[in-house]
Amino acid sequence: MRYFRRTDRDPGRAPDRKLLRTVPGLSFPLLLLSLFLAHSVFAQDVGSQEKELMGNGSVITVVIHDGSGEPFSSTAMVKLFRGMTPSGQQNTTRGVAEFVVTHFGEFTVVASAPGYPEVRKDVTVDVAGRTQVDVYLRGSSTAAGVPGRPVLAPKAKEALDKALRALKENNVREADKYMGEAMRLAPGNPDVLYIQGVLSLKQQNWKQAQTVLEKATQLDPNSARTFAALGMALCNQGNYEAAVAPLTKSLQMDPAGAWETKWALAKSYYHLQRYDDALKLSQESLAKSDGRAPEIALLVAQSLTAVGRWEEAAQTLRQFLSDHADRPEATTARRWLDQLAASGNIRSN
């Protein structure tokens, strides 16, 4: 599934003979939010205990502690994300929540409880087996008397959970059905609005995604992923100038950021002719994506070309062709290499 539209326009030439000025539609393996990556963003990450025991997955055990280090006695909500993609959510039982994941990589645990600041913690899962994550929820003076995040009623939570499962299975029709029920039961819940926005992005309904996600950011102004998704919705509409603010805000709140967010911001910068910024972020995104979206290399090549680093752009394109000659983007990469050679900006092989 992809966040950015694919276009067939040639890059063309600027008066100064710089090539590749037009960025082709970028693909984001999703926000669930690849929201539209090289693999379906909603590839199922959460598996079963049976898979873990057979050696095909890993269990992430999240242990919630209070400020004194004791197990958290109240119920906390724990969400698991892979990049921007939600990979499951559970209420704790005696301070513990467990998730079985069928893919290795970087995950983020988000824990929250009424009256406590939300806590995020990154975890790397690179081997089969069990990984424990300890999270500490500590009250603060500002939290006293402040209502916690809205709690979903059981029927709304059930509908949202079914929608999440359907999204992970790439069953858009089922997800749409259950999200309709969740929206009917809890139209003002920021989590419901976020997932609805993600679904709209998956359906390439950019405007609807923008509307829903704008409301979600108003209700929850501390959600980095919601701002990232909003920025992607704007970017997909070609509204690059407007996309910069929410994407930047997302990375300010979460400096590590999801590579999808950096890719979207890099694309926006490129279209706004902020080529140095586009180059820096596209290189970071490509490195952080860990091979999940190799087509980011095309944006890196475009940005290198825009700043006059012709040979490096050519080398980036050659490496892409060497590693990914079977991908659809290979045709574009070959064409751009030919244009660079024809322009006299690189040495002919």
Residue 251 and residue 279 share a domain: no
Residue 97 lies in a domain: yes
CB–CB of 47/57 below 8 Å?
Answer: yes
**331 and 245 in a common domain:** no
Residue 129: its pLDDT value, please? Answer: 80
Q: In sequence order, what DSSP letters do the residues of 198-259 get, joined into one string?
A: HHHHHTT-HHHHHHHHHHHHHH-TT-HHHHHHHHHHHHHTT-HHHHHHHHHHHHHHSTT--H
Number of domains in the chain: 3
CATH number of the domain residue 189 falls in: 1.25.40.10
On whether both 271 and 348 belong to a single domain, the answer is: yes
Q: Residue 106: inside a domain, yes or no?
A: yes
pLDDT at 348: 66
User: Which of the listed residues 257, 275, 307 is the one where a domain comes to its end?
Assistant: 257
Return the pLDDT at 255: 83
Q: Determine the distance from the C-alpha atom of residue 215 to the mean position of all C-alpha atoms in its chain, rounded to a whole number.
A: 19
Same domain, 227 and 319: no
Does one domain contain both 124 and 177? no
**Antiparallel, parallel or unpaired: β 105-113 and 116-125:** antiparallel
- Answer whether 80's CB lies under 8 Å from 89's CB: yes
The pTM assigned to this predicted structure is: 0.66
User: Does residue 263 sit in the same domain as residue 343?
Assistant: yes
| Residue 126 belongs to domain spanning | 49-136
Last residue of a domain, one of 81, 114, 136: 136
What is d(CA 167, CA 33) in angstroms, rounded to the nearest whole number?
Answer: 10
Of 223, 240, 257, which one is at a domain's C-terminal end? 257
Residues 69 and 101 in one domain: yes
Cα(232)–Cα(87) distance, integer angstroms: 20
Q: Let me know if residue 70 belongs to a domain.
A: yes
pLDDT in tens, the chain (349 residues): 344 443 334 443 443 434 444 444 443 333 344 333 333 333 334 444 434 333 456 889 999 988 777 888 888 999 988 877 788 888 998 889 999 888 788 888 999 888 788 888 888 887 778 888 988 887 653 443 334 556 788 899 999 999 999 998 889 999 999 999 999 999 989 999 999 999 999 999 999 999 999 999 998 888 999 999 999 999 999 999 999 999 999 999 888 778 999 999 999 999 999 999 999 999 999 999 988 999 999 999 999 999 999 999 999 999 999 999 999 999 999 999 999 999 988 876 5
Q: Cα–Cα distance between 271 and 53 in angstroms, integer?
A: 48
Does residue 231 sit in the same domain as residue 214? yes
